[in-house]
Amino acid sequence: MGKITLTNTPYDDVFRTLVNDCSSLMIPVINEVFGECYTGKEKMIFSPNEHFQKRQDGNEAEKITDTSFKILGDEVKKYHWECQSSTDSSMLVRFFEYDTQIALDEGEIKGDVLTVMFPHSAVLYLRSRAATGERLKVKMVTPGVL
């Protein structure tokens, strides 16, 4: 069996604990960030934060999201939230990896079609500077319709 590489920090653990223990306080934040209108009576269901990714060298890397959850309201919506102490150039790659894995966790194959639903995602920067943007953007280019 290959070696497993862990990716986690004490800051991640503190943020995850805060969100889990004070989940009702996240509702107004989610409303503000994503333009939602949750009342606070909706149910939040937290998802596993650990994801194992196989690497080409045979090893596995454990990726741990800060928090991932669903809100059961009029419809079910998935959310992924990260907390960063400052802007990090690897944030775009990590978000893409995390969001793809979250989408695959509940992906559904019917016939020869895989359907995945990406979560609504956000990052909370604890420090900002002029280079800290308002949005992270990923542009996906595909070779066409399959």
Domain ranges of the chain: 4-125
- What is the residue-averaged pLDDT of the chain? 81
Task: Give the whole-angstrom CA distance, residue 41 versus residue 38.
Answer: 8
Look at residue 84 in the predicted model and tell me its pLDDT: 80
Q: Which residues contact 84 (CB under 8 A, 6 or more apart)?
A: 91, 123, 124, 125, 126
Q: What are 16-45's pLDDT values in tens digits?
A: 777 778 788 889 999 999 999 999 999 998
Look at residue 22 in the predicted model and tell me its pLDDT: 79
